[in-house]
């Protein structure tokens, strides 16, 4: 299945000079923008994207075609496209490869999208640490402007489009769409209350479509083969509303970590074994896998799907391992986790799950923007309790306390960061409760580290 799959999103990866306009164009880039802008109407383009059933690739999985449909600009309002390249979700490293390997296809996606939604300016917001990617994008934009593809009359069409990059400066929360808009406006990257949604009131108070890099980069492919055909590449049934192909990432204790393109709907087991090369050590089996970035609850290979009734959506997989359920936005929601960014973090039997959880809670505490008391205080409190579990000062009620804190964070904040922190915490506790109770009783051994399976390889001279 990996052998006969022909990549389309990553088709130009590995071609010498793929980041230059000359090489990219030779391999088809800008042909769809030309076709879309000169022979299609905005409504036709929006229709194809709807038919494609592409779920947002940034982690929330909201259908892009539906989001574009929310636009309803009033008299004198400018529409903006903002592309979210703030890739900061732990475990996630796929958008970076798109920017580095195929920047012109991203620009092409921006051109088609701007034309479709009536925007004349697109900002590609890229996290500040990816200075190299920003450089590549800037070079590509200079080439595109010189060719006239970006500018007053792209492909001769009287629809001016400018595309700019905008660098972040180190803040995970700026990946949240409204925080990103605030950051783009030159403010602290603090999320806004929704509604109003960006499509109504976004950047500079104007109607704005915010989409992930991979989502926009997929638009030329959708136009090229048509929304329905693109949708049909999924391995999921129609009822799951999840079309096409996507990028999967895999990291942690596997032999070939990396970014791989595959149809929507492969299983986690396939991702680990067929793409990730299988577990790093034969004698250290899979213990748990965070499926799609740190905000998604952890899966256990030895937990079985419980869907005994015909009406249960996961009934076809009743009794099978959690990692044998096809990966989709809605299948994973039914499973009690989230698909997120489809970038998996694989942990073998050497990993202590309290320590893994603590690592992630340190991340969330650091990254909370601090606006909302339940999140700001909750993140800190969760980490304090986990630190107590680790150093032996925990108490028997601590595990219940963790669950309590998490439950009181969710639903009580301006944005979903609190959910992003609380859900994985609850996932670890639910799936590995015994480890947490053991730690509450006696702490963790003082030499507990996460690198038991890889330390030798890093320390030993090559």
Partner 1 sequence: MTGDEPGHSVQMFSRVRLRPSLIVFMTFSLPPEAEAKIEDLLGRYPTKRAACLPVLWMCQREHGWISPDVIQFVAKRLELSTAVVKGVVTFYTMFFEHEVAPNVVWVCRTLSCDLRGGKVVQEHLEKRFGCHAGETSTCGNFTLLKAECLAACGQAPMVQINDEYHENLTLEKLDAIIDGIEANEPAGGAISNAETAG
Q: Which residues bind partner 1 (CB under 8 A)?
A: 87-93, 95-96, 127-132, 162, 164, 166-172, 183-190, 204, 249-253, 257-259, 290, 294, 343, 345, 347, 351, 356, 359-360, 363, 366-367, 369, 449-451, 453-455, 457-462
Which tokens hold the place of 312? 């249960």
Nearer to partner 1, 181 or 222 (CB): 181
Nearer to partner 1, 51 or 127 (CB): 127
Question: How many angstroms separate the Cα of 326 from the Cα of each of 170, 255, 445?
Answer: 34, 22, 37
Backbone angles phi, psi at 258, to 5 degrees: 165, -170
Q: Token pair 């200075």 is at which residue?
A: 131
* Tally of CA atoms within 13 A in the half-sphere of 58 that contains its CB: 24
* Residue 455: CB minimum distance to partner 1, A: 6
Nearer to partner 1, 231 or 372 (CB): 372
Nearer to partner 1, 102 or 235 (CB): 102
* Residue 460: CB minimum distance to partner 1, A: 7
Which tokens hold the place of 132? 């190299």
* Residue 171: CB minimum distance to partner 1, A: 5
* Residue 395: CB minimum distance to partner 1, A: 26
Helix (H) or strand (E) holding 245: strand 245-252
Nearer to partner 1, 31 or 454 (CB): 454
Quote the CA–CA distance of 88 and 72 in Å, as a whole number.
31
| Helices 103-117 and 131-147: angle between axes, nearest 10 degrees | 60
Nearer to partner 1, 53 or 358 (CB): 358
Which tokens hold the place of 139? 């070079």
What is the gyration radius of the CA atoms in the chain, in angstroms? 22
* Residue 184: CB minimum distance to partner 1, A: 6
Which tokens hold the place of 126? 């890229």
* Residue 457: CB minimum distance to partner 1, A: 7
Nearer to partner 1, 92 or 113 (CB): 92
Q: Token pair 């905005």 is at which residue?
A: 42
Q: Token pair 């204790």 is at which residue?
A: 253
Nearer to partner 1, 36 or 323 (CB): 323
Residue 72's CB is within 10 A of a number of other CB atoms, namely: 9
Nearer to partner 1, 48 or 176 (CB): 176
Alpha carbon 360 to its chain centroid, in Å, reads 17
* Residue 170: CB minimum distance to partner 1, A: 3
> Strands 245-252 and 258-263: what pairing?
antiparallel
* Residue 190: CB minimum distance to partner 1, A: 8
Q: Contact at 8 Å (CB) between 244 and 233?
A: yes
* Residue 255: CB minimum distance to partner 1, A: 12
Q: Give the residue from 366, 376, 371, 364 showing the smallest Cα distance to 409.
A: 376
């Amino acid at each position: 299945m990996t052998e006969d799959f022909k990549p389309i999103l990553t088709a130009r990866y590995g071609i010498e000079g793929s980041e230059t306009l000359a090489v990219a164009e030779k391999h088809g880039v800008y042909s769809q923008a030309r076709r879309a802008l000169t022979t299609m109407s905005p409504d036709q383009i929006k229709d194809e994207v709807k038919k494609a059933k592409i779920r947002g690739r940034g982690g929330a999985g909201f259908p892009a075609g539906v989001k574009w449909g929310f636009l309803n600009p009033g008299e004198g309002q400018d529409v903006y496209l903002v592309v979210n390249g703030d890739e900061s979700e732990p475990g996630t490293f796929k958008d970076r490869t798109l920017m580095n390997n195929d920047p012109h296809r991203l620009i092409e996606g921006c051109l088609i999208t701007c034309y479709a939604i009536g925007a004349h300016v697109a900002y590609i917001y890229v996290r500040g640490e990816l200075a190299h990617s920003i450089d590549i994008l800037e070079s590509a934009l200079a080439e595109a402007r010189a060719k006239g593809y970006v500018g007053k009359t792209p492909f001769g069409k009287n629809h001016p489009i400018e595309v700019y990059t905008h660098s972040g400066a180190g803040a995970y929360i700026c990946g949240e769409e409204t925080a990103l808009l605030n950051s783009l406006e030159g403010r602290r990257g603090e999320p806004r209350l929704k509604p109003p949604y960006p499509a109504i009131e976004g950047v500079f108070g104007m109607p704005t479509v915010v989409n992930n890099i991979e989502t926009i980069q997929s638009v030329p492919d959708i136009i090229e083969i048509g929304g329905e055909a693109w949708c049909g590449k999924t391995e999921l049934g129609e009822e799951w509303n999840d079309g096409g192909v996507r990028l999967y990432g895999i990291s942690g204790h596997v032999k070939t970590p990396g970014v791989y393109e595959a149809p929507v709907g492969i299983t986690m087991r396939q991702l680990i074994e067929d793409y990730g090369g299988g577990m790093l050590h034969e004698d250290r089996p899979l213990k748990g896998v965070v499926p799609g970035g740190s905000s998604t609850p952890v899966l256990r290979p030895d937990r079985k799907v419980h869907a005994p009734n015909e009406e249960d959506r996961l009934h076809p997989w009743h009794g099978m391992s959690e990692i044998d359920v096809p990966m989709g936005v809605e299948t994973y929601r039914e499973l009690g986790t989230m698909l997120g960014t489809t970038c998996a973090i694989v942990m073998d039997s050497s990993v202590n799950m309290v320590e893994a959880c603590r690592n992630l809670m340190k991340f969330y505490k650091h990254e909370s923007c601090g606006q909302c008391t339940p999140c700001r205080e909750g993140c800190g409190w969760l980490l304090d309790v986990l630190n107590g579990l680790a150093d032996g000062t925990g108490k028997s009620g601590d595990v219940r306390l963790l669950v309590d804190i998490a439950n009181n964070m969710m639903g009580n904040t301006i944005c979903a960061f609190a959910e992003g922190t609380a859900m994985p915490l609850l996932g670890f506790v639910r799936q590995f409760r015994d480890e947490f109770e053991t730690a509450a009783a006696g702490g963790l051994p003082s030499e507990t580290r996460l690198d038991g399976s890889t330390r030798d390889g890093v320390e030993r001279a090559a």
